[in-house]
Amino acid sequence: MKQLKLLSIAVCLTVQPALAQQDNGIEEPQWTYKMSGFVDPQFYMDTREVVSAREEQMLFYPAPKVLDAEGNDINAQPSNNALAITARIGLKINAPDALNAKIFGYLEGDFTGATNDGINMLRLRHAYLNMRWQKSNLLLGQYWHPMVAHEVMPGTRPLNMGIPFHPYSRYVQARYTQYFGSLELSGIAAFQLDNKSVGPDGGSTAYLRNSCLPELNAQLCFRGEKLYLGAMVNYVLLQPRTSVDIYFPHNGTDGKETYKTDTKIGSTAVSVFGKLNVSELSLRFQGIYGDNLVEQGLMGGYIEKQNVEKYEYSNFGTTTFWVDLGRTKGVCRPGLFAGYGRNNNFGDEIESYATVYGRGFDIEYVWRVQPRVGFYPSDYLNFFAEVEYTNAAYGKKIEDGGKYHYESDYNVGNYRFIVAAVFNF
């Protein structure tokens, strides 16, 4: 409540200058303010336990089998829930031109929290300054991660927005775009906050900060009247540790020596994406091939091995593809999302003492089919119903001579039934 009161006071105070005039009666260049957002209660039911976040609203895939003494699957447990934490409020501020650029700022928050412990608390989604010249654009602040092609987003309603096939995260960044007619060339340098890398100290921004290099991304896009196509390459460099401990027996007792380390691991990803609008239909897609994409809600990560006074690292990655076809106009708007993701390193043999950081190392592939229908009686009032079926192929751990790997074992699926009402303002 205190956060909402402070936001309301700030809006009231900032709106006043827009009404002011100079003493000579000549009106100053206008500042304009526009608030927007929505209330979005969602009701959902699962047929089994799932791997998820935010009170299971952000679903990744069904949980693996866990058998009791009689062979019954403990995770074959249905559940249901209802949440309104995705309620959102945003404020766009258009300012007078400066440096020959059109300028606006944007602030947006919701109540999903930065972690599960922060649910129902206001958290920052977007906060950026945008400067637009005739042939270029500069964005500074928190915005969609570069791997999220914001022009090409699935039409699904749930919070997971297509993960673990479609990336979903926001980073603080500097994003510069140069326009060449129908072509757009962008370069982005991005920094973590809410979506942290994983490593020996859990989720932390320190791994990226210690590398002294922001996450880097380059994109080339074509924008036509009905067709939008793009390709990108992404690179992230992490330094998971700054020191290494060596334990040894000394005079009959255990001892420890600590050494400084600066070993790093680099990870690369590439993506192609596009959108085609024909009449009232929109076809969208994205394909990704890359390593260590756990921060984006995909499978992937890296493996750490200690070799005496240093650590050695290797990536494990994923290949994903999703497609979304939906109607964009009319009162009734059906649609269909389908996604597939494969662990590129499934079955790789690693040492038993190695540590795996990431998501889905024991999964061979995941796929999802998600039909939906939206009812739009007005621009501000919408209703949705979706069925989301996700299937994961889990592996069986095989150990042999101090090493282990996973072999194909079983598939497990989950149905999620979702209904939602949306009030836009």
Asked whether residue 247 is domain-assigned, the answer is yes
Each residue's pLDDT tens digit, 265-316: 999 999 999 999 999 999 999 999 999 999 999 999 999 998 877 899 999 9
Q: What is the pLDDT of residue 28?
A: 63
Token pair listed for 24: 């000579």
Residue 1 is assigned to a structural domain of this protein: no
164 prior amide bond cis, ω within 30: yes
Number of domains the chain contains: 1
Burial class (CB in 10 A: 0-12, 13-18, 19+), 294: buried
Question: Quick one: DSSP state of residue 391?
Answer: E
Does a structural domain hold residue 120? yes
CA angle 99, 138, 226 (to 5 degrees): 120
pLDDT of residue 251: 57
The pTM of this model reads 0.90
Q: Is residue 310 part of a domain?
A: yes
Helix (H) or strand (E) holding 232: strand 227-238
Range of the domain at 301: 32-424
Q: In sequence order, what are the residues at sequence separation of 6 or more whose Cβ sits closer than 8 angstroms to the Cβ of residue 307? A: none
Instruction: Tell me, yes or no, whether 42 lies in a domain.
Output: yes
Q: Do the domain assignments include residue 204?
A: yes
In DSSP notation, 300-341 reads EEEEEEEETTEEEEEEEEEEEEEEEEEE-SSSEEEEEEEEEE
Per-run averaged pLDDT (10 residues), the chain, 425 residues: 48 45 57 96 97 91 97 96 95 97 97 85 95 98 96 91 95 98 98 94 96 98 97 98 83 76 96 96 98 95 89 96 97 98 97 96 98 96 97 96 95 97 96
CATH number at residue 77: 2.40.160.10
Q: Tell me, yes or no, whether 7 lies in a domain.
A: no
Q: Is residue 10 part of a domain?
A: no
